[in-house]
Chains A and B, each alone.
Chain A
Amino acid sequence: MKNPLIKRIPKELKSDWHKYFVIVVFMVVMIGVISGMYVGHDSMLAAVYGGRETLNLEDGSFELNKKASAELLDAISTGKKADVRQYYIDKGIEEADKEVAKAIDEKLNESVTEAITENVKAACEAYGITDEDQIKEQVDEALKENLESALKEARETDEFKQAEKDAYKEAHDKVVEEVDKEWDEAVKKYDLDNPGFASVKTVIYENFYRNESEEYGDGSEEATVRVFKSDSKVDKASFNEGRAPETENEIAIDRMHASNVGIEIGDAIKVGGKEFEVVGLLSYVNYLTLHESNTDLMFDAFGFDVAMVTPGGFDRLTARIHYNYAFKYVNAPEDKVEKADNSENFLKALITQTLVYDNEIEDYLPEYIRQASNFAVSDIEGDSAGAAILCYILIGVIAFIFAVTISNTIDKEASVIGTLRASGYSKGELIRHYMSMPVIVTFVGAIAGNVLGYTAFKDLAVNLYYESYSLPTCHTVWSNTALVKTTVIPLVLMFFINLIVIVKKLQLSPLRFLRHDLVKNKRAKARRLPKWAFLRRFRLRILFQNIPNYVILIFGVIFIELMMCFAFGLPDSLDHYAKEAPGMMFAPYQYMLMGSEDDDGNVITTGEKTAERFDAKNLIYPKKKSTFREGMGSGGDESVTAYGIGNDSDYISLESRTGAGKVYVSSAFAKKFGLKKGNSITLNEEYENKSYTFEVAGQVDYEGGIAVFMDIAGFKEVFEKEEDDFSGYFSRNEITDIDDKYIATVITKDDIIKVTNQLNHSMGGIINIFRYALIVLTAALIYLLAKIIIERNEQSISMAKILGFKNGEIGSLYIIPTAIVVTLFAFISFVIGYYLMIWIFHVFMLQMNGYFAFFMSIPSMILSVLYLLIGYAFVSILDFIRIRRIPMDVALKNVE
Chain B
Amino acid sequence: MKEEFLEIRDLKKSFGEGEAKQEVLRGMDFTVKKGEFCVLLGPSGSGKSTLLNIIGGIDTPDSGYVSINGDKLEEMNESQLTMYRRKHLGYVFQMYNLIPNLNVKENIEVGAYLSDNPLDVEEVLTTLGLQDHKYKYPNQLSGGQQQRVSIGRAVVKNPDILMCDEPTGALDYKTSKEILALIEDCNKKYGNTVIMVTHNEAIKNMADHVIKLRDGVVRHNDINENKITAAELEW
Which residues of A are interface residues toward B (Cβ below 8 A)? Answer: 1-5, 7-8, 11-12, 15, 413, 415-416, 418-427, 509-511, 514, 889, 893-896
Considering the complex, give the chain A residue whose CB is closest to the CB of B138.
A895
Q: How far is the CB of A346 from chain B (nearest CB, A)?
A: 68
Report B138-153 CB contacts with A as 1/0, cut-off 8 Å. Answer: 1100000010001001
In the complex, what distance in Å separates the CA atom of A416 from the CA atom of B146? 13
A4–B110 contact, CB under 8 A? yes
A895–B100 contact, CB under 8 A? yes
B102–A4 contact, CB under 8 A? yes
B89–A424 contact, CB under 8 A? yes
Which residues of B are interface residues toward A (Cβ below 8 A)? Answer: 53, 56, 58-59, 79, 82-87, 89-91, 93, 95-102, 106, 109-114, 118, 138-139, 146, 150, 153-154, 157
B102–A7 contact, CB under 8 A? yes
A895–B114 contact, CB under 8 A? no
Additional pairs, 8, CB under 8 Å, beyond known A415-B97, A418-B97, A509-B58:
A4-B110, A416-B99, A418-B58, A421-B85, A423-B89, A424-B82, A424-B86, A424-B114
Among B59, B87, B96, B109, contact of A424 (Cβ-Cβ < 8 Å) = B87
Q: How far is the CB of A615 from chain B (nearest CB, A)?
A: 81
A421–B58 contact, CB under 8 A? yes
If over half of A's interface residues share one DSSP class (helix, strand or loop), that class is named, otherwise mixed; here it is: helix
Which residues of the other chain, B, contact A421 by a CB distance below 8 angstroms?
58, 82, 85
In the complex, what distance in Å separates the CA atom of A19 from the CA atom of B151? 34
Considering the complex, give the chain B residue whose CB is closest to the CB of A7.
B106
A420–B59 contact, CB under 8 A? no
Which residues of the other chain, A, contact B146 by a CB distance below 8 angstroms?
895
Nearest 5 interchain pairs by C-beta:
A424-B86, A4-B109, A424-B85, A419-B97, A510-B58
B58–A423 contact, CB under 8 A? no
* A7-B106, A424-B86, A424-B114 known; A416+B98 contact, CB < 8 A: yes
A423–B100 contact, CB under 8 A? no
Which residues of the other chain, B, contact A424 by a CB distance below 8 angstroms?
82-87, 89, 114, 157
In the complex, what distance in Å separates the CA atom of A424 from the CA atom of B96? 16
Q: How far is the CB of B122 from chain A (nearest CB, A)?
A: 14
Among A8, A416, A893, contact of B97 (Cβ-Cβ < 8 Å) = A416
Which residues of the other chain, A, contact B53 by a CB distance below 8 angstroms?
511
* A1-B113, A4-B109, A7-B102 known; A426+B79 contact, CB < 8 A: yes
Q: How far is the CB of A753 from chain B (nearest CB, A)?
A: 61
Q: How far is the CB of B145 from chain A (nearest CB, A)?
A: 12
Which residues of the other chain, B, contact A427 by a CB distance below 8 angstroms?
82
Which residues of the other chain, B, contact A423 by a CB distance below 8 angstroms?
85-86, 89-91, 110-111, 114, 153-154, 157
Which residues of the other chain, A, contact B58 by a CB distance below 8 angstroms?
418, 421-422, 509-511, 514
A8–B102 contact, CB under 8 A? yes
In the complex, what distance in Å separates the CA atom of A165 from the CA atom of B154? 123
Considering the complex, give the chain A residue whose CB is closest to the CB of B154.
A423
Which residues of the other chain, A, contact B109 by a CB distance below 8 angstroms?
1, 4
B139–A896 contact, CB under 8 A? yes
Which residues of the other chain, B, contact A426 by a CB distance below 8 angstroms?
79, 82, 86
23 residue pairs of the A-B complex, CB under 8 angstroms, read A1-B112, A2-B113, A4-B106, A4-B109, A4-B110, A11-B102, A415-B95, A416-B99, A416-B100, A419-B91, A421-B58, A422-B91, A423-B85, A423-B86, A423-B90, A423-B91, A423-B153, A424-B87, A424-B89, A425-B82, A511-B53, A511-B59, A895-B97
In the complex, what distance in Å separates the CA atom of A15 from the CA atom of B139? 15
Which residues of the other chain, A, contact B97 by a CB distance below 8 angstroms?
415-416, 418-419, 514, 895
Q: How far is the CB of B142 from chain A (nearest CB, A)?
A: 12
Q: How far is the CB of B71 from chain A (nearest CB, A)?
A: 15
In the complex, what distance in Å separates the CA atom of A893 from the CA atom of B56? 27
Considering the complex, give the chain A residue whose CB is closest to the CB of B150.
A419
Q: How far is the CB of B16 from chain A (nearest CB, A)?
A: 13
In the complex, what distance in Å separates the CA atom of A742 from the CA atom of B90? 99
In the complex, what distance in Å separates the CA atom of A421 from the CA atom of B95? 15
Which residues of the other chain, B, contact A3 by a CB distance below 8 angstroms?
113
In the complex, what distance in Å separates the CA atom of A434 from the CA atom of B99? 13
Q: How far is the CB of A893 from chain B (nearest CB, A)?
A: 6
Q: How far is the CB of B78 from chain A (nearest CB, A)?
A: 8
Which residues of the other chain, A, contact B98 by a CB distance below 8 angstroms?
416, 895
In the complex, what distance in Å separates the CA atom of A387 from the CA atom of B87? 51
